[in-house]
Amino acid sequence: MCYNKLGEDNDTSLQGDSKALGDIMLHFIISMFEKEKQFAPFYFVDAEYDKSEQWKINDKHTINFRMLVDRIDRVNDMLRFIDYKTGSDGVKVKPISKLFEISNTDNNGAIFQLLVYCFFYAYINNYKGITSKCKIIRYAIENDADYKATEVQYGSNGVSFKLNDEQFNSRLLGSGNLLNILASIVVADHLEVAVNRQRNAIARLQPVEHRLSMKVANGITVLDDAYNSNPQGAKMALEVLKNFAVGEGNKRIVITPGFVEMGTRQAEANKELGVTIAKSCDYAIVVNATNREAIRQGIDEGGLDADKYYLADSLNQAHTHLAQILKAGDVVLYENDLPDTFK
């Protein structure tokens, strides 16, 4: 290795800053190799590994994910992911169980990042070429799995479900939250946390306000999903509304302005929303003219009678109309709130 020349065919020695930088680089390279001796033997696999792909994370959700790994080595029958840190991130690693403690607010984010990268790498490679002693456990709501939630019911007390013969209750609504709860149970079982402690912890979980949170007042249940909305999130919220337990003669009502800032897909997405609304609720109030026609077309296509939805010019008008049809025992879902620009 030669660092003190300008090139293989140029014997002019480095001078000044270039010489100083060369000495520093050589020092770091030698130090790195000395450190690597502790982990030998190993085989270099890749560096600056950059991969983007759609990741199907469960039965219903797919995300766009990108990983950029500094280096990947093969050590015996395992792969080692290395992420070089030059900033302020700590390098101390706590016991793996600490990563899953709700009360622990000072987790090392870099460790979580690498764990996700490992999981994604295994996913995109379909576990080929990786020999692991780890047991793979699958969890689901609809498909067969090692951990499958059954008898899922939504009501004014939240959601209840069974896992094998155990009953669980939570105030976190929607399939996305339920899948996260199942994942936490898998980890808790692995750590041998008693079922009663799991059940109590899950029951204490509180939703984030305006993100499918629930309030009950004067016999009316309000599902507040007004902070933001997208097609996947709205579909999940409407699924909760559709399956929400109500008494005979009571209504499942949705109030929504639809989606905005979706470019060329906006009309199509709002029409699809209308179809889902027609199949999920007893009454709909469409707010504002921005997406009115697209949502109305979808509602009509979905088969909801014309006297079962109302087109409001503003949220105030929607509330005035709601007051005329609302009664104790009804459930109201607020799905999205338009930015001021569109009001």
243-283: pLDDT as tens digits: 999 999 999 999 999 998 888 889 999 999 999 999 999 99
Give the residues of the chain that fall short of pLDDT 50: 1, 128-130, 340-343
Q: Which of 324, 335, 330 is nearest to 220 (CA)?
A: 330
At 205 the pLDDT is: 94
Q: In this structure, are residues 234 and 259 in contact, taking their beta carbons and an 8 Å threshold?
A: yes
Give the C-alpha separation, 278 to 227, whole Å: 22
Report strand pairing: 220-225 vs 331-335: parallel
Q: How crowded is residue 152: how many other Cβ atoms within 10 Å of its Cβ?
A: 15
How far apart are alpha carbons 79 and 130 in whole angstroms? Answer: 7
- R_g of the chain, CA atoms, integer Å: 27
Closest CA to 335 of 237, 242, 268, 269: 237
Q: Which residues pair with 153 in a beta bridge?
A: 160
**What pLDDT score was predicted for residue 343?**
47
State residue 305's pLDDT score. 96
**pLDDT at residue 342, rounded to an integer:** 45
Q: Determine the pLDDT at residue 104.
A: 60
